[in-house]
Structure 1
Amino acid sequence: MKNTRIKPITLIAGILVFLQFSCNKLVDLKPINEISDASYWNTPDQFKLAANEFYTYLTSFAQVLYDPTPTASVAGSPHSDIRADFVGQRTPYSNGSYSLLATDVNWNNSYSRLRAINYLLEKAATYPGQADITQYVAEAKFFRAYVYFDLLQQFGGVPIVTKSLSVDSPELQTPRNSRDEVVDLIVKDLEEAIAALPLESAITAANKGRVSKGAAQSFLARVGLYEGTWQKYRNNSARANPLLDKAIANSNTVITSAQYELFAPVALGDSALKYLFILENEKSNPASIGKSANREYILSNRYDYTLRQIRQNVTHTWFGSSLTRKFANQFLSQDGLPIEKSPLFRGYGTTRSEYQNRDNRMRYTMAIDSSYYWDNENPGARSTWLSDAADRASGRGRFNSTVNTVTGYANQKWGTERRLNDNEEGYDWPVIRLAEVYLIYAEATYERNGSISDADLDKSLNRVRNRVNKTMPKLSNAFATANGLDIRTEIRRERNVELFLEGFRIDDLKRWKTAEVEMPQPLLGIRWKGTPFERRWVVNGTSPYPLDAEGNLIFESGRQWSEKNYLLPIPTQQIQLNPQLTQNSGW
C-alpha cells in the first residue's frame, strides 16, 4: 500500500457495545486513526479493537424500521418491511416506481467496510502469535460474509475483493463475479469462522455481544435457506440442494446445542413476545424482567438507555403505524385454521370482532381499536403495570384506529410502554434470534425434501407457534390433510407472523419468486362497508378511499412489479468508473 497509515475507522458505536459490560485496557489505546502501522497490529488487544468496528455494520433499527429516499449521501433501507406489502405506506420501492440511481450509499459503504475487514485479515496473516488472534480473524471472516450477503441480496453478483486496494489496483477494473462465486465465498468464510469461534457459553461476561459459533452457524443457515430457495424457484436444483442441506445442518446444530432458548417467562404469559422486543434493564414490562433473561437473541445490535440509546423515535414512529389487511389475515384462529376455514372466526361485525379467537401474537403485534394503550409520554406511560384503573388513567386511553391510521389496521410492535423521552429507547435489535433458526430448519427441510415429518415440525415450527399459543393445535401432516392445508403455505405463514417488522418480508418474496404475484396486489385496509367503520370513518360523507367488491378500503392500487425488480440496479456512476461492470437485467 502507498499509504502507511491505517484507514480511519469509526469505533465509537462499536466500543460502546462492549463498554456496557467491561472496562479494559482498550480504552487506554490511542484512537486508531491516529496510529500508524509501525505502532499498531502488535498485540491481540489491538486486533480486538480493530474488530470492534465491524460490529457497527450489524443491522439496526434505522436500517429496517425506516426507509428514507436514497440520495448521494443518504442510504435507503433495502430490507425494510416498508418496501413490501404488510405496511400501509406508499413508496417507490413498494409500488415499483423507483428508477436508476447514480450513486448508492449502501454500495459505497459495503466496499469501505470490506476494505477495513480485508486490511485486518492481511495484518493478521503476518502476525507472529496466530493463536492469540484466532477469534478476531474469525470475526473478520464472519463480517466479510455478512457484508457480501447484504450485497448479494441487493444486487446479485458483485465484484469480489479479498484484499485492500489502492487507487490504481487492477481489481478496480474487473467484471462482476457471478452470483455463485459470491455465495461460495460467503459459505467459505462462514465455515472457517465457525471452526474458530467460541460457543456462547464460553464467551465471558465482559465480552458478551461478540460473534459466537452459534451466531455464525445461524447466519450460514440463513444464507443457505435464502440462496437455496432462490435457486430452487429458478429451476436450479443442483445448486439449491447443497445449500438447503447446509441450512438444515447448521440450524439443527444450533437447535440441539442448548446454548439458546425462546424467551417465554411464565410471569409474562402470552405477552412474552410483545415484551421481548422492548426489553430493557429499566422496568419495561409488568414482571420487571431484564435483558439477562433473554437467551433468544443469538446475535444482536446492543443498545442501552444509559450508554447507547437507539436515537430513533421508535415508539412514536411505529405505535399505531398503519398495517394492511393482508398482514391481519395471516394470523390463524385459535383452532389452528386460517380465518377462511375456521368456525371460530368472528367476522367484521364490530371494530374488534376479527381479533377474537385469533393467534395471540395478533393482539400483541397489532393495536386493536378501543383497547387501552400506553406509550413513552407523560402522561401516557404505564404507572402500576397492572392494567388497573390507575394504570389506565396514566395511559393514552382507548386506541382509535380511524384517527391514528390510514388503513384502520395498526401496529404496536417496537413501541415501549415505559416513561422516557423520544429517541431514548434502549432495547436491542435482534440480528439473529432462535425463533428464526427454528423456522429456517422447518422451511429448509420441507423445501429440500418436499415434505417434513411431524417430529421435525415439533422440534422447530411448533415451538415457535405454541410459545404464546399453548392450546392451539400443533401443525402436523394429519392436521394439514384433514383441513386441506398446504404445509409450505403454513410454514411461510409462520415467518410472516413471527418475523414481522424484522427485515425479512421483501427478501422472502424475492427468494420465493412470488413478488410478481404478491407485490402488485392493492394494499387493502379494514372492512368499511357494513361495519361500524362506515358510520364512524367518513370523508365528505363517504369512505376515505375506494372500496373493493367486499367493501374493504383500497389504500393503494396500481402497484407494479416486473422481473427487473428482483435485483436493485447497479449505480450508474460505478459503471462509469468501471465499464467492465454490467447492469442488472432490465435496468
Structure 2
Amino acid sequence: MKKITFKYISFIAGILVWFQFSCNKNVDLKPINEISDADYWKTAEQYKLAANEFYTYLISFAQVLYDPFAANTNAGSPHSDIRSDLVAQRNVFSNGTNPSVTTDGNWNSAYTRLRAINYLLSKDSADMSNTARSERLQYVAEAKFFRAYVYFDLLQQFGGVPVITRPLDINSPELQTPRGTREQVVDLIIKDLEEAIAFLPLESAINAANKGRISKGAAQAFLGRVTLYEGSWQKFRNGNAARYNALLDKSIAASDSVIASNQYQLFAPAALGDSALKYLFILEDEKSNPAGIGKSGNKEYILANRFSFSLRQIRQNVTHTWVNSALSKKFVDMFLAQDGLPVNKSSLFQGYAMTRSEFTNRDNRMRYTMMIDSNYYWDNENPGARSTWLGDAADIASSRGRHNAANGTGYQNQKWGTERRMNDNEEGYDWPVLRLAEVYLNYAEAIFERNGSISNADLDKSLNKVRNRVNKTMPKLSNELVTTNNLDMRTEIRRERTIELFLEGFRMDDLKRWKTAETEMPMDVLGVKWKGTRWESRWLVNGKAPYNLDANGNLIFEGSRQWAEKNYLLPIPTQQIQLNPNLTQNPGW
C-alpha cells in the first residue's frame, strides 16, 4: 500500500470545485492545509469545506470515454466502455492481453483518497457541543458515502483489498495489513452507506446554493447499485445463497426507497419528443437543444459530476472523440423492433440489404444513439453547428452535411456529441454519476435475480418506464410477451440495461458480475453485413471488402480476442506486494 507521510489533509482540490456549492468565508483566510487542528474542526462550515475535496473523486468523462492506459503503470480507466465488446477500439483490455504491472495509479489514488476521508471521519469525535455536532453530521455522512464510493471502485477492480478505516502514518501497523475479503469490503461499504443515509437530506431539502451535494436518494441509489453488483457476482459464482439473497434484498429495498421518494423523474419533456434521451446527455444552460431547455429541467440525475461552459468546462474533446466513433454489430443488433421483439423474431425488421434499412421500425433510442447513413448531423464546428434548431433549410445548410457511414465498422455513435457552436474541449454538460433510469433497471434486475421471476406490476413500476420513455407505442416487457415469443426474461432485462446505459461506464463491470465476459469478450468485433448488401458496391478498398468477412458476410473489425479467468480482476501492482508482503496476488497473475 502507498505510504502517506503528510500530517494534514490538503483541501486545495476542494477549493477547485467551490462554484458547485455556496461560497465559504474560510477561503479568504490562510490556506486550509496550513491550518492546524487547534484552529480547525470547530464548525460545521469547516467540515463542509473539507468534504468539498471528495467531490473531485466522482467518476466523469475522462474515466469512461477515454482510457489513457500506460503499460508500465496501469494508469487507465477500468470502467471505460472502450474496454468492452460494444465499442470498436482495439486495446489490451478488450482483447484480454493486459499485463501484470509494477504500479497502478488507480490503486495509489484510492488509498490517498481514503487517507483524506478517514482523516475527516477521525475528527468526528472532537469535543464539540451536541448542537455543533448535529450541524456537521451531514458532512460526516458525505465522507462515509465517499469512503463507500472509493472502496466499491477498488472492489470492482481488484476484489478484496486492505480495509483501512483510520488515517495512517509511516509507523502504522496497518501498512502491513493483508487483503480483506470481498465480504469485509462490502460489509464496510454497506455500513457506511446505511449510516450516511440516516443523516443526508432529501433532494428537495437541498437549497439552490448547495445543489450537487450528496442527498439521501444518492446514497440509497448507490447502495442499490453496490448490493446488486455483489449479489449477482456471488450468485453467478455459486456463492452462499443466504449471502447473495440478502444482498439482493438490500438492493431491492434501496432502489425502491428512491422510487417511492418521488424526488426524481425521467427526463422526457414533451417539447423534445423522442429526442429527449439524446439531449439529456448534452444539456447545458446555454441553448443546447431545440426546446431551449436548461439543466434545471433535468430531474433525472440523482448525483452528477457538474460542469459548466462558463465556470468548469469538461476540457476533453468529447464531441470530436465520440461523434462517428465505431460501434459493434453486437450492440446494434440489441435494439428491439417497434413490436418489442428482437430483430431475429420481428416481422417489422427490414433487414440489412440497404445502408439504412436496419434502422427502420426500431427502438427510438437507436436513431438517437447512432448515426444513420445519409442523415444530416451537427457538431460544434463553424460551420457545422445548429442555426435555427428547426431542421429546416437554413439548419441543414449549417450542418456538417450528410453522414457517410462507410468507415470503421459502418456503425457510428452520436451520444455525447453536442450540436452547439463552441470550440473543442469547451463542453459543459454534466456527467451522470447516478440517474433514475439506472435505479429503475437495478430494481427490476434485483427482483428477477432474487426471485427467479418478476411480476408485470414490478416491470411497469421500473424497467418499462425506461423502455417506453421514448417508445410510446412499443409493447411493454411482460411475462406474456416473453412466453408468447419464446424470449428469456433475464436476457431482456439485461438488453434494456445495456442499451440505456451505453457509454456510461457499466458494460465491463456488468459482464464481470454476470460472469459472461468469458463468452462475450472473445467474440469477434463485427461490422455491417457487407456481402450481398448495398455495402458491397458502396464500400470497397482496392476493389475488396475493407476487412475480412465472417461466414454470414459481416465485416470482422477485430478477431483473435481472448479472455482468461484472471481477467475478471486486475492484478495487484507488484510494487505494493513488495512494500507489504502480506498482500497476495489475484489468481492467474
1:193 paired to 2:217: no
The gaps in structure 1 that reach 5 residues or longer are none
**1:471 aligns to 2:487 (yes or no):** no
Matched residue, 1:338: 342
State the AA in 2 paired with 1:361: R
Give every structure 1 segment of 4 or more consecutive aligned residues whose post-TM-superposition deviation is greater than 3 Å. Answer: 1-5, 14-18, 20-24, 71-74
Say whether the 8 Å CA contact 2:5–2:170 is kept in structure 1.
no
Whether the 8 Å contact between 2:20 and 2:212 is mirrored in structure 1 is no
CA contact (8 A) 1:135 1:197 kept: yes
Instruction: State the match for 1:42 in structure 2.
Output: 42
Over 3 Å counting, the alpha-carbon distance change for 1:384 and 1:6 in structure 2 is: same
Query: Any idea what SS the aligned residue of 2:432 has?
Result: strand
- Residue 472 of structure 1 deviates from its aligned partner by 0.2
State the Cα RMSD in Å: 1.4
Residue 167 of structure 2 is matched in structure 1 by 164
Aligned to 1:325: 329
Distance across 1 between alignment mates of 2:6 and 2:542? 69
Deviation of 1:72 (Å): 5.9
Partner residue, 1:488: 490
**Structure 2: how far apart are the matches of 1:74 and 1:488?**
34
Q: Supply the distance in 1 between the matched residues of 2:417 and 2:197 (Cα, whole angstroms).
A: 35
> What's the counterpart of residue 186 of structure 2?
183
Equivalences for 1:524-539 in 2 at 5 Å? 524-539=526-541
Aligned ranges 1:307-386 → 2 under 5 Å: 307-386=311-390
**Contact conserved, 1:368 with 1:399, CA < 8 A, in 2?**
yes
> Which of 397, 401, 407 is matched with 2:401 structurally?
397
1: CA distance between counterparts of 2:127 and 2:330?
55
Match of 1:545 in 2: 547
1:503 and 2:466 aligned: no
- Cα shift readout 1:250-306 (whole Å, capped 9, x = no counterpart): 100100111000000000000000000000000000000000010000000000000
CA contact (8 A) 2:231 2:247 kept: yes
Equivalent position SS for 2:198: helix
Distance in 1 between residues matched to 2:540 and 2:100, nearest whole Å: 39
Residue identity in the other structure for 2:363: D
Residue aligned with 1:530, SS: coil
One-letter identity of the residue aligned with 1:195: A
Structure 2: how far apart are the matches of 1:426 and 1:302?
A: 8
- 1:132 is displaced (CA, Å) by 1.7
- Aligned equivalents of 1:278, 1:4: Cα separation in 2: 40
Question: What secondary structure does 2:223 align onto?
Answer: helix
- Structure 2: distance between partners of 1:483 and 1:400: 36
CA distance in 2, matches of 1:20, 1:106: 25
C-alpha distance in structure 2 between counterparts of 1:95 and 1:580, whole Å = 31
Query: CA separation in 2, counterparts of 1:287 and 1:555?
Result: 39
State the match for 1:228 in structure 2. Answer: 231
Which residues in structure 2 correspond to 1:278-289 (within 5 Å)? 278-289=282-293
Task: Evaluate the alpha carbon distance shift between residue 510 and residue 148 of structure 1 in structure 2; reply closer, same or farther with a 3 A threshold.
Answer: same
Residues 400-421 of structure 1 show CA distances to partners (whole Å, capped at 9, x for unaligned) of 111xx41110000000000000
Instruction: Give 1:75's aligned residue.
Output: 75
Q: Deviation digits for residues 301-326 of structure 1, max 9, x if unmatched?
A: 00000000000000000000000000
| Residue matched to 1:205 | 208
Aligned to 2:566: 564
Q: Cα gap change, 1:3/1:130 in structure 2, threshold over 3 Å: closer, same or farther?
A: farther
Is structure 2 residue 290 aligned with structure 1 residue 264? no
Matches of 1:194 and 1:335, distance apart in 2: 41
Instruction: Tell me the equivalent position of 2:416.
Output: 414
Partner of 1:429: 431
Does residue 163 of structure 2 align to residue 154 of structure 1?
A: no
Tell me by how many angstroms 1:240 deviates: 0.6
**Distance in 1, Cα, partners of 2:20 & 2:110:** 27
In structure 2, give the amino acid aligned to 1:157. Answer: G
The answer on whether the counterparts of 1:71 and 1:103 sit within 8 Å (CA) in structure 2 is no
Q: CA deviation at 1:520?
A: 0.4
Mapped pair 1:438 → 2:440: yes
Bigger mean CA offset, 40-49 vs 496-505: 40-49
> In structure 1, what is the Cα distance between the partners aligned to 2:67 and 2:5?
36
Query: What's the CA shift for 1:26?
Result: 4.2
User: What's the CA shift string for 1:369-420, capped at 9, x where partnerless?
Assistant: 1110000000000000001110010010001111xx4111000000000000
Query: What is the CA distance between 1:15 and its match in structure 2?
Result: 3.9
Q: Give the percent of matched residue pairs that are identical in Structure 1 and Structure 2.
A: 73
Q: Which residue of 1 aligns with 2:125?
A: 125
Corresponding residue number in structure 1 for 2:28: 28
- Distance across 2 between alignment mates of 1:226 and 1:251: 13
For residue 260 of structure 1, what is the amino acid of its counterpart? Answer: Y
Shift of 1:527: 0.8
Q: How far, CA to CA, are the matches of 1:398 and 1:10 in structure 2? A: 47
Helix, strand or coil: the match of 2:93?
A: helix
Distance in 1, matches of 2:495 and 2:420, equals 31
Q: Aligned partners of 2:400 and 2:101: how far apart in 1?
A: 43
CA contact (8 A) 2:304 2:434 kept: yes
Structure 1 residues 189 and 419: CA distance shift in structure 2, 3 A: same
Structure 2 CA distance for aligned equivalents of residues 4 and 267 of structure 1:
54
Report the counterpart of residue 137 of structure 1 in structure 2.
Answer: 140
TM-score of the two chains, using structure 1 as the length reference? 0.98
Q: 1:21 to 1:146 in 2, by over 3 A?
A: closer
How far off its partner does 1:333 sit? 0.2
Q: TM-score, normalised by structure 2?
A: 0.97
Residue by residue over 1:193-218, the C-alpha shift from the partner in whole angstroms, topping out at 9 and shown as x without a partner, is 00110100111111000000000000
Secondary structure of residue in 1 paired with 2:307: coil
CA contact 1:142–1:189 (8 Å) conserved in 2: yes
The offset of 1:2, in angstroms, is 11
CA shift in 2, pair 1:503/1:3, >3 Å: closer
Which aligned pairs between 1:12-27 and structure 2 lie closer than 5 A? 14-20=14-20, 22-27=22-27
